[in-house]
Amino acid sequence: MKHTIFLLLLMSLTQLSQAQTWIWYPGDYEIWLANQMNNRRTERGAFFPHFWKMDSHYVLVEFSKKVDLATDEEIEIAVEGKFNIKLDGKLQFGMPKKFIVPAGKHSLNIKVWNQATPPCIFVNGKNIKTDSSWKVTYEDKEWIDESGKASDTSATIYMAAEGWADFNTADKLPSKYKLATEEHKAVSVTAVPGGQLIDFGKETFGYLRFHLLSGKGKINIYYGESKEEALDTKYCETLDQLTVVGNNVTDEALASTSKNEHFYTLANSKAFRYVYITKDAGVDFKELSMLYEFKPENQRGSFRCNDDEVNKMWEVGAYTMQLTTREFFIDGIKRDRWTWSGDAYQSYLMNYYLSFDEQTVRNTIWALRGKDPVTSHTNTILDYTFFWFLSIYDYYMYTGDQHFISQVYPRMQSMMDYVLGRTNQDGMVEGLTGDWVFVDWADGFMDKHGELSFEQVLFTKSLETMALCAKLTNNAEDQSKYEKISVDLRAKLLPAFWNETKKALVHNRLNGMPQEQITRYANMFAVFFNYLSPEQKQEIKNSVLLNDSVMKISTPYMRFYELEALCALGEQKQVMKEMKDYWGGMIREGATSFWEKYNPEDKGVQHLAMYGRPYGKSLCHAWGASPIYLLGKYYLGIQPMKAGFKEFSINPTLGGLKWMQGTVPTPNGEIKLFMDTKTIKVTATEGKGYLTFTSKSKPKASKGMIEKLDGNKYRLMVDGKEEVVVRYR
Amino acid sequence: MKHTIFLLLLMSLTQLSQAQTWIWYPGDYEIWLANQMNNRRTERGAFFPHFWKMDSHYVLVEFSKKVDLATDEEIEIAVEGKFNIKLDGKLQFGMPKKFIVPAGKHSLNIKVWNQATPPCIFVNGKNIKTDSSWKVTYEDKEWIDESGKASDTSATIYMAAEGWADFNTADKLPSKYKLATEEHKAVSVTAVPGGQLIDFGKETFGYLRFHLLSGKGKINIYYGESKEEALDTKYCETLDQLTVVGNNVTDEALASTSKNEHFYTLANSKAFRYVYITKDAGVDFKELSMLYEFKPENQRGSFRCNDDEVNKMWEVGAYTMQLTTREFFIDGIKRDRWTWSGDAYQSYLMNYYLSFDEQTVRNTIWALRGKDPVTSHTNTILDYTFFWFLSIYDYYMYTGDQHFISQVYPRMQSMMDYVLGRTNQDGMVEGLTGDWVFVDWADGFMDKHGELSFEQVLFTKSLETMALCAKLTNNAEDQSKYEKISVDLRAKLLPAFWNETKKALVHNRLNGMPQEQITRYANMFAVFFNYLSPEQKQEIKNSVLLNDSVMKISTPYMRFYELEALCALGEQKQVMKEMKDYWGGMIREGATSFWEKYNPEDKGVQHLAMYGRPYGKSLCHAWGASPIYLLGKYYLGIQPMKAGFKEFSINPTLGGLKWMQGTVPTPNGEIKLFMDTKTIKVTATEGKGYLTFTSKSKPKASKGMIEKLDGNKYRLMVDGKEEVVVRYR
């Protein structure tokens, strides 16, 4: 339990109280809310929950705060659950809505029980307000012995309470949280055999609304991301059936709270562009609209350039992100609607260049982790466990939020204990029975047995992440432990997997024997994780990344990293071409949001099939939106060098564009950049850092001293909120 | 995970399906129900939940069954929660109440989500019925890959489903379970200053019922186990306040479902004999009765003898057990109303000689254990963890229920891992920060520091229990592991704690140094655990048990074991005297149920005080009922020698009585015994075993051959259902 003491110390030193909100046990509300969200998945009318352990909140939680008041203070107390109040250890009568805390130093404890929804409190007084300065525990171990002597609670594990800025008044009950909605009209209604096909114009998400519903009978609703899917009543992935009596629907599961004499809104949200409706003759309705449901996001990032296809790519990416950013970052809106760690990891990275929504990143990290004991990999997937670790340090780098690291670190420890408990005699991970070794949806054979180089690379990075986070929580013992394991494992990577003939990391080892297959996965991660020598990286570029004989990647998921690796090697021109081919290709196929998988060689309805089902493929999948990230990080070239952009780096590259301009959000500001072939303009309202660029002749800056580096490289410190203009060639 | 495979093997070999019931994940309903019960504790109007982690059910559970049907079969499906059905892996539409399973071999899966109450199902078909032959898991890990290939679920942990015989029809929803009630009238109403004092004649438990409630105003209710407590409005332990408007009560917490124009029944159950009522002038009622709440138990055990005081002791003990046997075995009905492991351990043992209620033993064992991860000792108390282990093997011995051992064994493992993770360099346990080293409520100094001999004795026995249960679950690896640790620890006990001068185990060691204090605790357990030589046992009898200079025990809790040790040493005459003094003493003080603590030297209201509070003491405490156990096990002398009374032993001892007769229940039968100074009559409807007794001359039996043993001892095999009569002197 040593780490706890470190954590508490750290919290008291570094933690700034957030604003007044409802508060709860860290992660508990998020885990509960994720259950609500994940359990909205359906498959052809059947409830479809996930196949790993569904955790839930601690049902009994104690909140506490030490106060020091100049005068008596009346506090208002709102609680979700049955509760008691203790003042200086003494229980108070009943469950009061108001309570007077006398002047002086006091300790205030509120203990809440709630089975169905997370125990939460909101306290409002002149000085006493619920915020992250409150302590919280699921087990106070406060007993008194025969004589009335209280127990020693110094080993009790207290965490800082958590809350969301949204829940800032007593009437905003966390358990009642809903995303925003607005009504959208259909763009066309077409009579088709057996019924009508309604088109909402683009991929969308929400609740169908029937206007002037009347009569008696059944209405069948077939949803489609494509016209083909909606019209295929046998194979469309989602459907609903209503039993209508008058303007009411009698099916229990579809009972809606949003209805009146004019309309009836379904309780089931769905993803669709098209809806095919068939119905009994005795039932009728006048119009079908939909209640679009969305998380209101402040789109603080932007990108524009001279190439309209690239601009369109960015916009479709941003819309894909808008649709998949819900209570949590989910994978796709039609089918899974679940939090998936590998998918979410990419959403986080895109989000840093789009809405910089820190809250939803934290939510998703909590939800994916769940509670102890750990009984499987994240989403049961070996690689997804590692992406979970990686996401936490990235979050810290982009946001600078050290407090969150303290809160989540105990669960990082237990997750890593699980991983370390399943390594082989070489300290490497292999897929054991029950583990899903995913890697990618590949269009060819990929061995999942033995030690995959890809998994070891991610495992190494995860161990390095543990060491970094141990350091952030002042846990020197853990830090040195994880440093040692990560250094040992990293030292084994090249001896185990590097094939000097093929100039590449091989895909896997079986019984200690390196195999012959080369896949792209480990190679591309090893490039941008810097696990290779500069020579090896260049070799990999040609032997793997630009080598068409190595199995191609056909998911945006792994194309994300493939193109990132090429960008990291300075191949922005090549990447621009590939982006235009690949994401441009989807747009040319009519995509209004980006897809789960895209093989340019597929034709027509082939694009819709996956998992052996004709419409199995998701046409709105978060991992499709990677241009957002690539354009921000590798063209605008902006990324944090120290946590929370206290220091940033700006390495802009046109990569074949004539001009580009864009904004990258930072925790409390933004970095704006314009670049054409002669000018770079930068405004950074937060942090400082080097602008690095190449110029054929000596460049000039409106402010500051430009330093010359090797070759044609120059750099300029950007520090201050005014625009800096650089002329270069 | 090796043990799982053993468990599954074992289950398939040994498990007989129980009758059709609602089913759930093993332990989950019990843990949830315990929360409902434990959270009914109040202290002077304040909600008072416990101070250790409150676990809850798995919110998502999958039930499955492989069926083989001669013809199509329609099943009715009742579910507590949102659910889906899969037939042979294929999801079915909606949440059907009826479903046709086609003829042939099929696998049926029902997956249920329920946040608020445990996921439970009840399936009823001609052949398909929910029972313990269904498998259940909280994590099926059933995913399909891109090609539609299903995952390898061979490592998925499936348990046998559990249910209660009570829940045997679709409309008996487990979440709606309530104990039985019946209306009881007051025996007297007395006008006292300020109000009226109502006496219900004896200690009781339930819900006050106001008849013809009318007017408007407040009613104050002060409960008392004693008259003094009820009348002491400042210090009584429990109270209620009603705000009455007409025949209604407006206080949210007291809103009752049991009311009509004639009466209003409170929603809060309480323990009391007396009720003191004060009220505003504007409010009135005609009569106060109460709804007695109880678990209907079949009192299969009995004891009668020539001594009426002993008969009364047995009856008051039985009533104390009736009051404290609720959804679970609780400690006391007034104050705690919680499951406490040390208390429950004694309730189990008494129960085997009274109602033989196997269900409530299992319930309480589940409730006390909760879920993983283990974050504290049971009830936070070191010794209570050990009593939890001990209770499981006892349960097996009395009931023969090996299936339960398989179900609970994984939690025994994780609990013991917790204990073993907290041992010192000598492999002994000490109280660490946050641990409650309880032992007993002692009336003098008792050191709780260092290595207590008492704790090591219980720890040793717990390790032996682990080894025995590992064997029962065919887990040879665990068996040898725990045997080794227990043998090592047992070998250390005497060298560490035996004081040859004092002829006793000393109380503790500090920094490796045995201390001087002798207490009774370790000594008495070491006697009946057989951890001592015959000589040492006899020495302890005189040096400790019958030595008045060793601190006396004043709780029935530890008197239980003290007297058990004396009985094990053949001191039944002495024990009879002490029982009559001690339990007889409480009865002479007016007890209608037995108390938490009794010091014969206290006078008057001193008997009511505890924990520094004038009415802190519980006057109905389960651990007070030990005569039930002592009379059954050590006078009737009946106990199981092989699991489930397949073999029993009967060693009757009059212990100074002229005659006695009684019944000891067995799982499916009973053993009846009558004994006076010349005759022993035995009828055993189940099992077989030796009747052992002493006789001055050669005894005669109506059936079977009497064997002569050493001294005056004889024995006779009792096998068969007819009465055996033995004449002896």
What CATH code is carried by the domain that includes residue B111?
Answer: 2.60.120.260
Residues B345 and B489 grouped into a single domain: yes
Confidence of residue B252 (pLDDT cuts 50, 70, 90): low
Q: Note down the domain range covering B133.
A: 2-174
Domain boundary among A601, A618, A635: A635
Confidence of residue B260 (pLDDT cuts 50, 70, 90): confident
Question: A111: which chain B residues are within 8 Å (Cβ-Cβ)?
Answer: 47, 49
* pLDDT value of residue A253: 60
Neighbouring C-beta atoms of residue B729, cutoff 10 Å: 11
Question: Whole-angstrom Cα distance, residue B226 to residue B203?
Answer: 9
Residues B96 and B199 grouped into a single domain: no
* pLDDT value of residue B18: 63
Q: Assess whether pLDDT exceeds 80 at residue B623.
A: yes
Question: Whole-angstrom Cα distance, residue A223 to residue A241?
Answer: 11
Confidence of residue A462 (pLDDT cuts 50, 70, 90): very high
Digit-coded pLDDT (tens) for B631-640: 999 999 999 9
Question: B614: which chain A residues are within 8 Å (Cβ-Cβ)?
Answer: none
The beta-carbon neighbor of B116 closest among A111, A116, A611 is: A116
* Helices A402-420 + A476-497 axis angle, to 10: 50
Interchain CB contact of A535 with B (< 8 Å)? no
User: What average pLDDT score do residues A587-593 get?
Assistant: 96
* pLDDT value of residue A238: 96
Element at B556 (helix H, strand E): helix B556-568
User: What average pLDDT score do residues B594-600 get?
Assistant: 94
Q: Do you know the residue count of chain A?
A: 729
User: What average pLDDT score do residues A611-633 get?
Assistant: 95
Exposed / middle / buried, residue A97 (Cβ in 10 Å: 0-12, 13-18, 19+):
exposed
Domain boundary among A635, A658, A681: A635
Do strands A647-650 and A688-694 pair parallel, antiparallel, or not at all (unpaired)? parallel
CA distances in angstroms from A24 to A110, A450, B49, B653, listed in the order given: 11, 43, 18, 60
* pLDDT value of residue B9: 41
Confidence of residue B422 (pLDDT cuts 50, 70, 90): very high
**Two structure tokens written together for B230:** 């009820």
Question: A253: which chain B residues are within 8 Å (Cβ-Cβ)?
Answer: 94-95
**Two structure tokens written together for B96:** 């059907």
Residues B668 and B601 grouped into a single domain: no
Maximal C-alpha separation, chain A: 86
Cα B274 → chain centroid: 28
Which of B37, B53, B222 to mutate: most A Cβ within 10 Å? B53
> Over chain B, what is the mean pLDDT?
94
Domain boundary among B581, B607, B635: B635
Contacting residues for B61 by C-beta, under 8 A, at least 6 apart: B24, B25, B28, B111, B112, B118, B119, B136, B137, B138
Cis peptide before A373 (omega within 30 of 0): yes
Question: B96: which chain A residues are within 8 Å (Cβ-Cβ)?
Answer: none
Digit-coded pLDDT (tens) for B37-58: 999 999 999 999 999 999 999 9
Q: Which residue has the tokens 């209306």?
A: B183
Give yes or no for a contact between A160 and A154, defined as CB atoms under 8 angstroms apart.
no
**Two structure tokens written together for B627:** 């005569």
- The verdict on a CB contact (< 8 Å) between B154 and A434 is yes
Residues B663 and B713 grouped into a single domain: yes
Interchain CB contact of A143 with B (< 8 Å)? yes
In chain B, what percentage of residues exceed pLDDT 70? 96
Question: Whole-angstrom Cα distance, residue A432 to residue A104?
Answer: 59
**Two structure tokens written together for B272:** 């009391």
Confidence of residue A471 (pLDDT cuts 50, 70, 90): very high
* pLDDT value of residue A9: 41
User: What average pLDDT score do residues A524-539 get?
Assistant: 96
- The verdict on a CB contact (< 8 Å) between A49 and B153 is no
Q: Determine the residue type at B674.
A: F
Contacting residues for B267 by C-beta, under 8 A, at least 6 apart: B207, B253, B254, B255, B256, B257
Question: Whole-angstrom Cα distance, residue B44 to residue A393?
Answer: 49
> Over chain A, what is the mean pLDDT?
94
Residues A226 and A337 grouped into a single domain: no
Give yes or no for a contact between B509 and B451, defined as CB atoms under 8 angstroms apart.
yes
Helices (H), A117-276: 227-231
- For A299, phi then psi, to 5°, come to -75, 90
DSSP B380-401: GBHHHHHHHHHHHHHHHHHH--
Instruction: Please write down the long-range contacts of B715-720, taking CB distance under 8 Å and 24 or more positions apart.
Output: B715/B690, B715/B691, B716/B690, B716/B691, B717/B688, B717/B689, B717/B690, B717/B691, B718/B650, B718/B682, B718/B684, B718/B688, B718/B689, B718/B690, B718/B691, B719/B688, B719/B689, B720/B684, B720/B688
Interchain CB contact of A56 with B (< 8 Å)? yes
Give yes or no for a contact between B303 and B313, defined as CB atoms under 8 angstroms apart.
no
Element at A190 (helix H, strand E): strand A188-192
Q: Assess whether pLDDT exceeds 70 at residue B256.
A: no
Confidence of residue B253 (pLDDT cuts 50, 70, 90): low
Interchain CB contact of B621 with A (< 8 Å)? no
Do strands B659-666 and B669-676 pair parallel, antiparallel, or not at all (unpaired)? antiparallel
Question: Whole-angstrom Cα distance, residue B685 to residue A540?
Answer: 82
Give exposure, A649-662, as e/b (b: 16+ Cβ within 10 Å). Answer: bbbbbbbbbeebeb
Beta strands in B92-233 (DSSP E): 98-101, 104-113, 120-124, 135-137, 159-160, 180-184, 188-192, 195-211, 214-224
Neighbouring C-beta atoms of residue B150, cutoff 10 Å: 10
Cα A625 → chain centroid: 13
Q: Which residue has the tokens 């089902």?
A: A613
**CATH, residue B665:** 2.60.420.10
Helix H, strand E, coil C: the string for A584-648 is: HHHHHCCCCCCCCCCCCCCCHHHHHCECCECCCCCCCEHHHHCHHHHHHHHHCCEEEEEHHHCEE
Question: B437: which chain A residues are within 8 Å (Cβ-Cβ)?
Answer: none
The beta-carbon neighbor of A611 closest among B49, B116, B144 is: B144
* pLDDT value of residue B8: 43
Digit-coded pLDDT (tens) for B88-97: 999 999 999 9
Residues B163 and B187 grouped into a single domain: no
Residues B216 and B335 grouped into a single domain: no
In this predicted structure, which of A204-213, A248-257, B460-469, B573-582 has the lowest mean pLDDT? A248-257
Cα A534 → chain centroid: 32
Give yes or no for a contact between B386 and B455, defined as CB atoms under 8 angstroms apart.
yes
Question: Whole-angstrom Cα distance, residue A221 to residue A195?
Answer: 10
* pLDDT value of residue A157: 94
Question: B60: which chain A residues are within 8 Å (Cβ-Cβ)?
Answer: 35, 49-50, 53-54
**CATH, residue B347:** 1.50.10.10
Confidence of residue B250 (pLDDT cuts 50, 70, 90): confident
Q: Assess whether pLDDT exceeds 70 at residue B3.
A: no
* pLDDT value of residue B265: 92
**Chain B closest-CA separation from residue A91 CA (Å):** 6
Q: Which of residues 17-36 of B touch A (CB under 8 A)?
A: 32, 35
Do strands B98-101 and B73-80 pair parallel, antiparallel, or not at all (unpaired)? antiparallel
Contacting residues for A102 by C-beta, under 8 A, at least 6 apart: A69, A72
Question: Whole-angstrom Cα distance, residue A162 to residue A48?
Answer: 30
Cis peptide before A614 (omega within 30 of 0): no
CA distances in angstroms from B205 to A185, B235, B539, listed in the order given: 62, 20, 45
Digit-coded pLDDT (tens) for A304-352: 999 999 999 999 999 999 999 999 999 999 999 999 999 999 999 999 9
Cα B137 → chain centroid: 27
Give yes or no for a contact between B304 and B311, defined as CB atoms under 8 angstroms apart.
yes
Give yes or no for a contact between B531 and B461, defined as CB atoms under 8 angstroms apart.
no
Q: Assess whether pLDDT exceeds 70 at residue A7.
A: no
Q: Determine the residue type at B687.
A: G
**What is the complex's ipTM, to 2 decimals?**
0.94
User: What average pLDDT score do residues B211-220 get?
Assistant: 94
Confidence of residue A18 (pLDDT cuts 50, 70, 90): low
Q: What is the DSSP letter of A130?
A: -
* pLDDT value of residue A136: 98
Digit-coded pLDDT (tens) for B150-200: 788 888 999 999 999 999 999 999 999 999 999 999 999 999 999 999 999
* pLDDT value of residue A251: 75
Give yes or no for a contact between A57 and A113, defined as CB atoms under 8 angstroms apart.
no
The beta-carbon neighbor of A91 closest among B46, B91, B436 is: B46
- Angle, alpha carbons B6-A448-B9 (nearest 5°): 10
Confidence of residue B4 (pLDDT cuts 50, 70, 90): very low
**Which pTM value belongs to this model?**
0.95
Give yes or no for a contact between B155 and B1, defined as CB atoms under 8 angstroms apart.
yes
Interchain CB contact of A445 with B (< 8 Å)? no
In this predicted structure, which of A153-162, A261-270, B472-481 has the lowest mean pLDDT? A261-270
Provide the domain count of chain B.
4
Interchain CB contact of A694 with B (< 8 Å)? no
Interchain CB contact of A53 with B (< 8 Å)? yes
Question: Whole-angstrom Cα distance, residue B116 to residue A114?
Answer: 9
User: Residue B432's closest chain A neighbor by CA?
Assistant: A155
Helices (H), B270-401: 308-324, 341-352, 358-369, 382-399
Question: Whole-angstrom Cα distance, residue A36 to residue A10?
Answer: 33
Residues B356 and B495 grouped into a single domain: yes
* pLDDT value of residue A566: 97
Residues A502 and A358 grouped into a single domain: yes
- Angle, alpha carbons A266-A269-A273 (nearest 5°): 105
DSSP B361-375: HHHHHHHHH--SSP-
Residues A527 and A629 grouped into a single domain: yes
Confidence of residue A15 (pLDDT cuts 50, 70, 90): very low
Q: Assess whether pLDDT exceeds 60 at residue B15.
A: no
A458 three-state secondary structure: helix
Q: Of B712, B579, B592, B714, which is closest to residue B657 (Cα–Cα)?
A: B579
Question: Whole-angstrom Cα distance, residue B442 to residue A390?
Answer: 55
Interchain CB contact of A150 with B (< 8 Å)? no
Residues A394 and A375 grouped into a single domain: yes
Residues A402 and A337 grouped into a single domain: yes
Question: A153: which chain B residues are within 8 Å (Cβ-Cβ)?
Answer: 434
Q: Assess whether pLDDT exceeds 80 at residue A246.
A: no
